[in-house]
Every structure is written in C-alpha cells, then in structure tokens.
Amino acid sequence: MRVSCLQENLAKGLSIVGRAVSSRSTLPVLGNILIEAKNNQLRLAATNLEIAINCWIGAKVEEEGAITVPARLLGEFVNSLPPEPIDLELSVRTQTLNLHCARYTATMKGIDASEFPIIVTTGADNDEAPALEGTVMELNAAGLRNMIDQVAFAASTDESRPTLTGVEVSFKKDRLSMAATDGFRLSVRSTHLGESNGPGEDMTVIAPARSLGELARISADADDDRPVQVIITPTRNQILFQIWGKRDDGRGNFHSVELVSQLIDARFPDYNAIIPKNYNTRTVVDKAEFLKAVRVAYLFARDNNNIIRLSVTPGEGDGPGQLQLMATSAEMGDAVNIIDALVEGEGMEIAFNAKYLIDVLSQIDQTQVVLETTQGTRPGAIRPLGMGEDEFLHVIMPMQPPR
C-alpha cells in the first residue's frame, strides 16, 4: 500500500471512526483502525462490535493495500501534524505502516487487515465487491436527524431490559416510524417516505438508541441535499446508514460515511396499547411558556419524586382557560405557576414527572403544543401543533399524587 492524502481530511476521518473504537476490548484488533487504500480513496474503519463506522476520504493511491494500526496512537499523531499532505506506506513483510508528513516521520506496528471484523458496505465505492443486498430506502438527512432527536431520548438506559434501550424502526407501506419507550413514557415519530423511496416491504427492527445518537452526530457534517441511504441486511441483524459528505472540495471533509449497527434481537412492546384512543380534555399552550413554567415548578418538585400537578381550567365564555402547575416540597415550600391555555372539554387534574415533561418539550420546535388527557389516572399525550396528526406523539404515564 502506498497512498497520500491531506492531513485535515485524514484527521476528520479518524475523528469520525474513532467514535467506534473499543476503549477496552479483549480483542487486540479492535483497538486498531483499519486503513485501506483502493480506487483513489482511503477507507478508514473501526468497530466496537455494536457500531461499526466506515469513512472514505479522498486520496491519491499509488499502490492498493490495507493494514490495521493502533487507533489512539494514529489519531493523536495525525492531529499533531501540520496541514500538509501525508504519505502512508505499508511494509507488507513487517506489517508496519510508515507515515510521512512535512518533516515528521513515524512507523507504526500493525495487525494484519484480515484479522479485522468484516464490516458490510454498500459497495457504492467499490467496483469489485458486490453491492450489499438487503432492503434499501432513502431518507432526507436533516429529517432523519430530527426524528432521532425526538425519539431516542425516551429509550431506557436501564441495561437490565435491553429491548427498551433500543428504538423500534419500522417501515410500513410508504411510512417510516421510530418509537422508543422506557415503560413510563413513549415517543413515536413517523414520516412519509415517498413512492419510490420505501423499502417495498413492511419490516420492523430494533436499533440501539446509542447507535442512532451516533448517526445523528455524524450527519451534522453531512450534505443535507443528498439522501441518506438505509439498508437492512437480509438476515435482519444489521442496519446500515450511508451518509454523503459536503460536496465542495474543502479541507477537513469526508467523501462518505457508512455507519453499521448491530440490531437488538427481541420483540418490542406493543406500544399501540399505551396510546390513548381519545381524550376528554384538549389543552393548547405556548410551548416556550409551558417549558418555562415546568422548569420553575421542577425546582420544588426535585425533592418529591419530581411530581408536579397540572390543573386544567376551561375558560368562561369567550375568555381563555388556564393551565396551573403546582409543585410541593415538604421541606422547602411550594410553587404555583399559571399560563394561558385554550381548553376544549372539561377541567381536570393530573400529575406528571417534571423531568419527563422537560425532556419532551425541549425536543419540540413548534411554538404551540397540545396536551390531551382523559382522566388523572390515564396516560396523557403531547403533540406539537402544526405537525401532521401522526407525525409526532409523546405519551407520558401520570404519577400517583402522594396522599
């Protein structure tokens, strides 16, 4: 292998794949990054066996080849180099990688590339390997990022119920839905895929919430004009997202990134049973005001299992109704905050966990939100006003107010 590339591009690529390097693994090769020169591109790859990231950057390949070298050493070394071209050369006999940039030279001991786990790719940049077979669909990059942000936070962090640490991703007809729940709240987000972009068959998988979070991070650097390609392997054990880098040839860019995540092999809870089918009270409030009032009440709720009580009062005549938020701390006092509300239906009282309200309201971009409730002991639904009916729904279980 003999190849040269720009320091900034290599540094960028390494920072992206570095997120998937295992810090502590019993497999020596997982502490390494795979470097492969082919088709005038340099492929960097790392995996912690849950997530694998492939990143392609532009390069001038004089001789193709591949090697794995210690991730941390390579990353720190490349970051220290001046922004100039770097020459990389592999000595096949000794399995060492020689790096040369300006007046810096280094040699790193590697591990044979064939020891590295096989990471599936779309094969889009690879003439020789056949393109990955599986169910393919295309998504808008910014939209995907937004969906992940609005769903993944509701996943459980309790590892003893692994299924709930995942996000259910399902394709039905031409709709993509994501859902996550920790048993006390549920976030569901759905979008229209368009005629030609859907997978052509219905399917449901569970992806670790962490993997999707990583995807959202990487896609912040993506070219939002080019769609993200999503592939689910035929055995339904992996999901692959292909993201394109910005098209201008600026420095510090990548060509494309493919994130492959292992899937959680389980059945997701049937969350439709949790979604309220109707409501007795529909309360519309300004999102920013609501969020602020919850945050203030939370100051007093912290000592009391985060419980805040919401009291909805319909307006009299043509006047506006109101939403009252109350929190009590036995030791420190209490707070009552009132905001205006458009109330449809009867008045009611319900108690929620303040943290959960803050979590969901922080992820809503729209200026108004709707709270739908039936009674104080049944789940409440929150949705942004102005999005399609089925686009975004958040359900929160009420708390038992202390007697």
403 lies in the binding site for another protein (CB under 8 A): yes
**Beta 65-70 vs 85-91: how paired, if at all?**
unpaired
Q: At its nearest, how many Å lie between another protein and the CB of residue 98?
A: 24
353 lies in the binding site for another protein (CB under 8 A): yes
167 lies in the binding site for another protein (CB under 8 A): no
Residue environment code for 183-210, b if the CB has 16+ CB neighbours within 10 A, otherwise e: eebbbbbbbebeeebbbeeeeebbbbbb
Interface region with another protein, contact rule CB under 8 A, candidates 193-201, 319-327, 332-340, 393-401: 393-401
Interface region with another protein, contact rule CB under 8 A, candidates 10-18, 70-78, 114-122, 282-290: 114-122
CA nearest to 231, candidates 125, 124, 137? 137
212 lies in the binding site for another protein (CB under 8 A): no
The answer to whether 315 and 343 have CB atoms below 8 angstroms apart is yes
With CB under 8 A as the contact rule, the residue among 40, 94, 366, 377 that binds another protein is 377
Interface region with another protein, contact rule CB under 8 A, candidates 38-46, 167-175, 249-257, 302-310: 302-310
With CB under 8 A as the contact rule, the residue among 83, 269, 345, 347 that binds another protein is 269
Cα-atom radius of gyration of the chain, to the nearest Å?
Answer: 25
What single letter denotes the amino acid at residue 222? A
Which CB sits closer to another protein, 187 or 322?
187
- Helix (H) / strand (E) element for 203: namely strand 203-208
How far is it, in rounded angstroms, from Cα 77 to Cα 80? Answer: 5
305 lies in the binding site for another protein (CB under 8 A): yes
135 lies in the binding site for another protein (CB under 8 A): no
With CB under 8 A as the contact rule, the residue among 79, 237, 366, 367 that binds another protein is 237
DSSP for 346-387?
--EEEEEEHHHHHHHHHT--SSEEEEEES-TTS-EEEEEBTB
How far is it, in rounded angstroms, from Cα 129 to Cα 40? Answer: 16
Contact set for another protein, span 278-297 (CB under 8 A): none
Residue environment code for 240-267, b if the CB has 16+ CB neighbours within 10 A, otherwise e: bbbbbbbeeeeebbbbbbbbbbbbbeee
Which CB sits closer to another protein, 28 or 315?
28
Binding-site string for another protein from residue 309 to residue 348, where x marks contact by CB under 8 A and - marks none: ----------------------------------------
Q: At its nearest, how many Å lie between another protein and the CB of residue 10?
A: 25
The answer to whether 28 and 111 have CB atoms below 8 angstroms apart is yes
Interface region with another protein, contact rule CB under 8 A, candidates 13-21, 77-85, 98-106, 158-166: 158-166
With CB under 8 A as the contact rule, the residue among 267, 320, 334, 386 that binds another protein is 267
Task: Give me the residues paired with residue 300 across strands.
Answer: none
With CB under 8 A as the contact rule, the residue among 181, 197, 242, 322 that binds another protein is 181
306 lies in the binding site for another protein (CB under 8 A): yes
Measured CA angle at 92 (ends 87, 93), to 5 deg:
130
Which CB sits closer to another protein, 345 or 376?
376
CB-based contacts of 124: which residues, under 8 Å, 6+ apart? 131, 242, 256
163 lies in the binding site for another protein (CB under 8 A): yes
With CB under 8 A as the contact rule, the residue among 198, 208, 245, 252 that binds another protein is 208
Residue 339 exposed, middle or buried by CB count within 10 Å (0-12, 13-18, 19+):
middle
- With contacts defined by CB under 8 A, how many residues of the chain interact with another protein? 53
With CB under 8 A as the contact rule, the residue among 264, 285, 301, 343 that binds another protein is 264
CB-based contacts of 211: which residues, under 8 Å, 6+ apart? 50, 51, 239, 259, 261, 262
Which CB sits closer to another protein, 99 or 308?
308
CA nearest to 1, candidates 30, 56, 43, 47? 43
26 lies in the binding site for another protein (CB under 8 A): yes
Binding site for another protein (CB under 8 A): 24, 26-30, 47, 49-50, 52, 111, 114-118, 159-160, 162-163, 165-166, 181, 183-184, 186, 208, 235, 237-238, 262-270, 273-274, 305-307, 353, 377-379, 397-400, 403
